[in-house]
Amino acid sequence: MTFENTLAFAKTLDKNDSLAAFRNEYFIPKHGKKDSIYLCGNSLGLQPKVTQSYIGQELKDWRTFGVEGHFHAKNPWLSYHRQFEKPLMNLIGAKKGEVVAMNQLTVNLNLLLISFYQPKGKKKKILMQASEFPSDYYAVEQQIRLHGLKPKDCIIEVKPRKGEETLRTEDIAETIRKHKDELALVLFSAVNYYTGQFFDIKAIAKACCEHKITFGVDLAHAIGNVELKLHEWNVDFATWCSYKYLNSGPGGVSGIFVNNYHAKNFSLKRLAGWWGNDEKTRFKMQKHFEPAEGAQGWQISNAPILSMSAHAAALSLFEKAGMKNLRAKSKTLTGYLYFLLSDINSADFQLITPTNPNERGCQVSIQMKKDGRKTFDYLTKNGVIADWREPDVIRVAPVPMYNSFEDVFRFAALFKSALSTK
């Protein structure tokens, strides 16, 4: 598509957008009497208008049934978590039995690391991105210490080449090959939180499989953003949050993926609680843990119904929109933003998100060369809700579910104005 830097062109794209009506399904924060330009869905997604009714149903059933709501609620709480399996399978490319909604992201990451990071002999190291999100790094450090090892001896960081901002797939694969006899685990975020780079997870998984190295993925910035095929790609495990692109509310429930080839491996070490016990014996109140088959065997506690009801509301819209349709719009919407920003003649910034649409989701990271915070504050003052990341990056995410092409055009115009105003 040949883009044009005009408001009329942006409005034409919106008019022809088959997903445009979904914007009306969300509450857009106001700036004065107008909608703000909300480009922060990569940090916290907007509230679906149906969320209140979903939560209200559970409050009503709690009021009506009390404890009997576990059996007699409209959506019985005893089996509440099961409704998420199909939509989550669709979002990450999983098979039946491989997913379950539970806990929060870093809690789940720690639970999975207990099972899948098992250092032995020389194979005790973990490969990560040098620019990984701090929470993941903290979890890895502590897991290493739990094994009586030192993080400085066990973490291998892969960095971009000198003068580059993003990682090359061949460099990741070569690092895996180089350290194959030392690696117990490769842990990667599918989309980097800082640059917005979408990694070739299939290629990384292939490199891990070739050398029999366990591969885990953090999907915090990927689920609901890009198309995923975790089962087909032979990823061992993954976890994610639901409050970013999945719009399930602040601190919303997380979930995990465990590939079916681990489904019956009950010898894997894990922390346990009664909700992860086999359903056939769960209520016999026996002393010895019998893990359920598949991902459900990593559950510990019963479902947080009120949080999960917001998750159910949000996922209902993804089921209607379809991830393929959202991804197709995303490529055009983000591509238009990239075009508009690239059309600004200024040495004050550079775009550090990959130019290739297949190597990015809907985030564009703008690295400021000077006056970055002043630029960000100007945007905020003029109705833009975006994200500032130290030391010098403005992250903007045009989410295909509720952002418009006019949003993108208005943002680029304000960004250009901010540069000239300074």
255-258 vs 237-240, strand pairing mode: antiparallel
Q: Are 282 and 302 in contact (CB under 8 A)?
A: no
pLDDT of residue 100: 98
> What own/partner pairs with CB < 8 Å and gap ≥ 24 does 344-350 have?
344/412, 344/415, 344/416, 344/419, 346/416, 346/419, 348/375, 348/419, 348/422, 349/375, 349/419
Return all residues near 20 (Cβ < 8 A) that are at least 6 apart. Answer: 14, 404
Q: How far apart are CA 347 and CA 353, in angstroms?
A: 17
Q: Say whether 364 sits in a helix, a strand or coil.
A: strand
What's the mean per-residue pLDDT of the chain? Answer: 97
* Mean pLDDT score, 343-348: 95
Does residue 205 carry a pLDDT above 90?
Answer: yes
**Average pLDDT of the segment spanning 263-271:** 94
Q: Which amino acid is at 124?
A: K
pLDDT top residue among 287 and 44: 44
Token look-up 């953003």 returns 225
Q: Using pLDDT thresholds of 50, 70 and 90, give the confidence band for residue 422.
A: low
Q: CB of 360 within 8 A of CB of 334?
A: yes
- The dihedral through the CA atoms of 58, 63, 68, 73 has a sign that is negative
* Residue 421 confidence class, pLDDT cut points 50, 70, 90: confident
pLDDT in tens, 393-402: 999 999 999 9
Phi, psi of 52 (to 5 degrees): -60, -40
pTM score, whole prediction: 0.96
CA distance 23 to 400: 9
Q: Can you list the domains of the chain with their CATH numbers?
A: 7-35+323-421 (3.90.1150.10), 81-318 (3.40.640.10)
Mean pLDDT check: name the lowest of 90-104, 109-123, 278-292.
Answer: 278-292
What is the enclosing helix (H) or strand (E) of 175? helix 169-178
Burial degree of 107 (CB within 10 A; 0-12, 13-18, 19+): middle
First-to-final CA distance of the chain:
33
Model confidence at 1, in pLDDT bands (50, 70, 90)?
A: confident
